[in-house]
Structure 1
Amino acid sequence: MNRAPLGLSAKRAQNAALRIAVGIATTGRPLILRRVLERLREQTRVPDAIVVSAPSMADVSGVNTDLPDLRCITGDRGLTIQRNAILRAVSDFNVVIFLDDDFVPSPRYLEVVEQVFQDAPDVVVGTGRVVADGILGPGLDVDDALNMLRDDGSAAASTREIVDVYNAYGCNMAIRLDAVRAGGLTFDETLPLYGWLEDVDFSRRMAAYGRIVKISAARGVHLGAKSGRQSGRRLGYSQVANPLYLVRKGTCSRRKALKLMSRNLAANVAKTFRPEPYIDRAGRLMGNIRALLDLMGGRLSPERVLNL
């Protein structure tokens, strides 16, 4: 693939200090958010700024918004909308690290990311290693995450490997802003609410400007908190509508889209009558079916999820 120049020389990338911001889009999790913000202040390399994007000030209740390096902005709800607000707020930084409001980073997370982005100027997106992901189960609490990261400390210090990947995992995603500026890139607001697969879409558009990599030593735990998430019916609709939209857009391969849809549909069918207590399988299946009917009727669109 031919890659457009970033206008950032290798010498500058290796020798100049980077200005790094952390961006967090949050909804309905102020207690968890406060714990994550505490964790960011314990980093071996603290962020130069933290920008929290929320639908209302109630979503950041209890957060000390008077801190000089913290900015809280409010606006419309939706992951892609909120992340675009963060992009506008950090437009003069070198790197923004998007973290979910329930992602707990290891103490050296920012330090490791900075080192990779300085040493490898062709890297435009980096995603860390998720030591444990509560999204695959009932969820984890912050104390669980801290214990896991404490036990994982020796492994985190022992590897400096980076490997190329198809896309970053949106719960922790570092973005080189020179590439964003070069392409005039934003998150696609056609993907509403939870914005399922926004990480795939944004990663593949960033791939025109450099490498997408996994950074093994940048580690963390994704709590997979169940509060603040969209309904099962809406997620089920997005499980069909969003991959097909990205195929038409050219940011997701047909093979990957088919794999995602078939895996989710099969899981929803198989587990509807004996669902996990923390997953609305019946709702997801109903959303899947509604999306397939809309597909046959020529009405399928990610934004139709707003009518469910």
Structure 2
Amino acid sequence: MSSRPGAACCVRRSRPSPMLRRFRRVRRRCPPPPRGAAMSAPDPTAGASLAVVLCTADRADSLRRTVASIWTQTRLPAELLVIDDGYLDEALLARLARRCDELGIAWRYHRKDVRGLTRSRNIAARLASADVLVYLDDDVDCPSHLLEELANLFADPGIGAASPRVAEPAWSAPGARLFQYGYRLAGWWRIAPRERPPAPPPRSLRDRARVRRAPWLSGAAMAIRRGLVLEHGFRESLAGYALGEDREMAYRMAPYAWIVELRTVEVVHRREASGRADPRRFGRMTASNYLDILGSTCRLGPGEWLLLMWTFGVLLTQQAMFALGGDRAAHLEELRGLVDGLRDYFVPRLRAVFGWCGEKAEPRRRPRLVAPARRSAPRAAAIAARRTRALFVTNRLEHGGAEWMLVSLVRRLAEFGVDPLVACLKDAGPLADECRVAGVPVVDQLLSHKFDGTVIPRLARLAHDQRVSAIVAVGSGGDRMFWSTLAGRAAGARVVVWSHWCPTADQQRFELANRALYRLVDRYVALGRRHAEALARWEFVPRGRIEIIHNGIDLSRFDAAGRRHPARAALGLGNGAVGIGIVANLRPEKRHDVFIAAAAQVAARHPEARFFIIGDGPARESVAEAARRSGLPADVLRLMGARDDVPVLLAGLDVCCLCSELECFSLTMLEAAAAGCAFVGPRCGSLDEFLEPERTGLAVSPADASSLAAALDRLAADAVLRRRVADAARARVQAEFGIERTCRGFADLLGRLARSG
């Protein structure tokens, strides 16, 4: 008999297994409502609204059985979402949609081209509108009172996430139980975050027979507040099919939300065949994901590293011993996979330490993501009682996305308990007056030349005199990061690097000198999940020091009411004209030549279209030359230069676009959405955390004139499509990407660093 859980599913037992006997005892103690109880549509006043999410891949029969247990619930969900990583039969989808319509359940179906469980779960959070997302595997059987119990549990606002009890009949065979005992002996998942949420324990925890605190969630069945998923998101970079994604998410949320186990309900996980039977791949994911999750969410001291050595020693020994019995080839392959996973984790890190990076290895720290907005107000109030001073260091306050983001941030930080000041290594630049008018001091001309080491005592003295507790270097690499890091350490201040560049395999910004200073930087701020992953993967930034704070904009500057007609008149746009613009600094990576080439194609098919290039920069002459070579008349393609009235101009445009080779998290994208302008952007960086194709805009290939022209063609020809995506984007930016949320994120980060220093 094989010892593997998957092979034990078909073993028949004349006597119920201990797991099933225990399951029956729980059912007797906590019986479901009577069989004849009437089902009812969800009542928004009774508990939280629920959306059931099923992520599936080519397992139609398994999905059908799982959905059947949803129809019999005593409380029906508000929504049913099926995220398809394969190709479900159209007839099955039609039946599901029809049944949902009969029961009054909102039906949503989404098929993805790129497979990935964590990505599916993040997409579901964006598509749903219910308060709580109930994630179920497509091979579970749910008791009829599951959703009713969850709705009642989440009526307690202190609960952030919960899992019911999960029965695993596949693990009831003797060989499978022995295999699981080996994992328990190894201390598998014994390491966990030590932090507790700042909020008091929820009232539900007083009933120990019903609810208890849980260290993690179960991927087979778990319920999470939708706001938490939108804020933190499942990590999409986990290897393979994301083995351990449920525990990684729980570990990352542990400092912010109460996670509990609902003991009155037990879900049966059937563990049906899924095409994941490659033992070597399974072993590789087991090792690499386990180490990656612990390294990025827990503080690993000497004791934890000793436990990890014991853990993998036991697992390797166990696989070797089981290989002596049945299924030898599978266990040897899984043993090789474990070794592969250990190598995948440690070799790149050893290379970064000893090969070219030059920094010392150190224990990884748990990353802190920005706490959800609903929990940020008390923190902001607490920080206000003890104000923090922060020095933001940049090169020059010129017209650009990162610079406007800095100006928008420092103008509002004082409301959140942080007193900012700005230091420019070069001259102050045209945006300095925006800061000074808001009462934010600006100091400039601190660096006389690139190798001017005297900037260290200048910055350190400024930080000391102003009683600065944190220095924030605004940018990726370069002089700002290097001199700010050294000056911060000289002044005894904490150091933060606010990155606005998303690296790739071919393009990195952190020079060797700055990489050597990694250990002196306390936190790196990324603008999105993909940005954070890129910093860790390509720049070798310690993952435990990365925090995610999304860009936000001052929505009051983008009140489009009453502005559209004057703005269109200023742009020279008549009633039938379609205004299409690009708002970006004139730099090579922005690829204005691609925009001009696409404009020539669109103008040939839509003579009513007018094109505007808004921005200035070092590539001014080459952009002007490309415009001349295009043959487009000056009244069709206009170069507007740098403008201070971008919100007004965007209100007059119909379409705004970017076609860059690289983007991180574009401010132009948010501004276009706030102004009610349809947006077209490249598939790169963290743009997809806002840009949902066909919903909040259109996505195109980076730096591809044909792809851009096709998208602009669609929008130029379809006013209804323009209005639909513009309205959806505006609603989302108003709900999630105001400057207040960014300020709360920085206030929370800087306050924590000040208190820990």
Range into which the TM-score falls when normalised by the shorter chain: 0.7 to 0.9
Is residue 2:129 matched to residue 1:78? no
Q: Give the superposition deviation at 1:174.
A: 0.5
Q: Distance in 2 between matches of 1:236 and 1:186?
A: 25
Q: Do the aligned residues in 1 keep the contact of 2:49 with 2:151 (CA within 8 Å)?
A: no
Alignment CA distance shift 1:42-1:16 (3 Å): closer
What stretches of structure 2 of length at least 5 have no aligned partner? 1-43, 177-207, 351-532, 534-757
User: What residue is the counterpart of 1:66 in the other structure?
Assistant: 97
2:214 to 158, 165, 179: 165
User: What residue is the counterpart of 1:215 in the other structure?
Assistant: 262
SS at match of 2:154: helix
Q: Give the superposition deviation at 1:56.
A: 2.8
Q: Do the aligned residues in 2 keep the contact of 1:136 with 1:224 (CA within 8 Å)?
A: no
Bigger Rg, structure 1 or 2: 2
Corresponding pairs, count: 264
SS at match of 1:292: helix
SS at match of 1:169: coil
SS at match of 1:57: coil
- What amino acid sits opposite 1:113 in the alignment? L
User: What residue is the counterpart of 1:110 in the other structure?
Assistant: 147
Cα RMSD, aligned residues only: 3.0
- What amino acid sits opposite 2:348 in the alignment? G
Q: Do the aligned residues in 2 keep the contact of 1:239 with 1:264 (CA within 8 Å)?
A: no
Is residue 2:350 matched to residue 1:292? no
User: What residue is the counterpart of 1:265 in the other structure?
Assistant: 316
Is residue 2:156 matched to residue 1:127? no
- What amino acid sits opposite 2:283 in the alignment? G
SS at match of 1:83: helix
Q: Do the aligned residues in 2 keep the contact of 1:194 with 1:230 (CA within 8 Å)?
A: no
Is residue 2:269 matched to residue 1:232? no
Q: Do the aligned residues in 2 keep the contact of 1:135 with 1:224 (CA within 8 Å)?
A: no
Q: Give the superposition deviation at 1:245.
A: 0.9
Q: Give the superposition deviation at 1:48.
A: 1.1
State TM-score, norm by structure 2: 0.32
Is residue 2:114 matched to residue 1:87? no
Q: Do the aligned residues in 2 keep the contact of 1:124 with 1:175 (CA within 8 Å)?
A: yes
Q: Give the superposition deviation at 1:297.
A: 3.0
Q: Distance in 2 between matches of 1:130 and 1:117?
A: 19
SS at match of 2:216: coil
Q: Distance in 1 between matches of 2:89 and 2:298?
A: 32
SS at match of 1:66: helix
1:42 to 49, 55, 72: 72
Q: Do the aligned residues in 1 keep the contact of 2:55 with 2:85 (CA within 8 Å)?
A: no
Q: Give the superposition deviation at 1:221.
A: 0.3
Q: Distance in 2 between matches of 1:180 and 1:232?
A: 31
Q: Distance in 2 between matches of 1:61 and 1:299?
A: 50
User: What residue is the counterpart of 1:24 in the other structure?
Assistant: 54
Q: Do the aligned residues in 2 keep the contact of 1:27 with 1:59 (CA within 8 Å)?
A: no
User: What residue is the counterpart of 1:153 in the other structure?
Assistant: none
Q: Do the aligned residues in 2 keep the contact of 1:33 with 1:60 (CA within 8 Å)?
A: no
The correspondence of residues 237-256 of structure 1 with structure 2, limited to 5 A, is 237-251=284-298, 254=304
SS at match of 2:227: helix
What stretches of structure 1 of length at least 5 have no aligned partner? 1-13, 140-158, 303-308
Q: Give the superposition deviation at 1:188.
A: 0.4
Q: Which has the higher contact order (CA 8 A, sep 6+)?
A: 1
Is residue 2:325 matched to residue 1:274? yes
SS at match of 1:227: coil
Which of 106-115 and 205-214 deviates more? 205-214
Q: Distance in 2 between matches of 1:178 and 1:21?
A: 13
User: What residue is the counterpart of 2:246 in the other structure?
Assistant: 199
User: What residue is the counterpart of 2:658 in the other structure?
Assistant: none
Q: Distance in 2 between matches of 1:259 and 1:114?
A: 41
Q: Distance in 2 between matches of 1:282 and 1:236?
A: 10
Q: Give the superposition deviation at 1:130.
A: 1.4
Q: Distance in 1 between matches of 2:233 and 2:211?
A: 25
Q: Do the aligned residues in 1 keep the contact of 2:160 with 2:257 (CA within 8 Å)?
A: yes
User: What residue is the counterpart of 2:686 in the other structure?
Assistant: none
Alignment CA distance shift 1:15-1:207 (3 Å): farther
Q: Distance in 1 between matches of 2:90 and 2:169?
A: 24
Q: Do the aligned residues in 2 keep the contact of 1:22 with 1:99 (CA within 8 Å)?
A: yes
Alignment CA distance shift 1:59-1:243 (3 Å): farther
- What amino acid sits opposite 2:167 in the alignment? V
User: What residue is the counterpart of 1:147 in the other structure?
Assistant: none
User: What residue is the counterpart of 1:152 in the other structure?
Assistant: none
Q: Distance in 1 between matches of 2:346 and 2:45?
A: 55
Alignment CA distance shift 1:197-1:262 (3 Å): farther
Q: Deviations over 1:276-305 (max 9, x none)?
A: 69x9323211211222334453379x9xxx
Q: Give the superposition deviation at 1:230.
A: 5.1
SS at match of 2:97: coil
Alignment CA distance shift 1:265-1:53 (3 Å): farther
Identity %: 26
Q: Distance in 1 between matches of 2:339 and 2:141?
A: 35
Q: Do the aligned residues in 1 keep the contact of 2:47 with 2:153 (CA within 8 Å)?
A: no
